[in-house]
Amino acid sequence: MRYNEKELVCLSRQPAEKAAELVMRGPKRSDAAKCRLVKLVVNFLFYFRIDEEEPVGALLLEQCKIQKEDDTGFSLVFVDEPERKYSFLCETTEECEEWIEALTKASYEYMRKSLIFYRNEIKKITGKDPLEQYGISEETRFQTRS
């Protein structure tokens, strides 16, 4: 996927599905834990210095695992770069669980699997493919991988 800095800044200003001030530690051993405004927009996790409008960075939530670390902490690890681990600390256990759920549901792969599941359920009930009316047939991009 290609995107430029201007596009990311524009996307970061969109309404967030979830946003909060969290303690965040980057992937380098020398990275110190810092309080950041963390904002989930579509499948990007933006992080900002407190009281700044432009993001310090953005993480594309694809091919990554969100793992619970302890009661109030979770981490984000990229599948192809397991050493690239971002850690986050929330104020409460409930907040931590909400973040884990929101981040898990934000990926394209999760949305794709949900589309396939609901498409098949509707087809079972009605006998019709709900996407055919939009000219979308049984294309391989909507099929589950074996």
Span 112-145, pLDDT tens digits: 888 888 988 998 999 988 888 777 776 545 554 4
45 with 25, same domain?
A: yes
Range of 45's domain?
5-106
- Give Cα separations from 99 to 5, 17, 118 (angstroms): 25, 10, 24
34 with 71, same domain?
A: yes
Structure-derived torsion over alpha carbons of residues 48, 49, 50, 54, reported in degrees to the nearest 10: -50
Domains of the chain: total: 2
Task: Give CA–CA dist 21/88, Å, rounded.
Answer: 10
Does the pTM surpass 0.75? The reply is yes
63 with 15, same domain?
A: yes
Q: Are 90 and 24 in contact (CB under 8 A)?
A: no
Task: Give CA–CA dist 43/71, Å, rounded.
Answer: 24
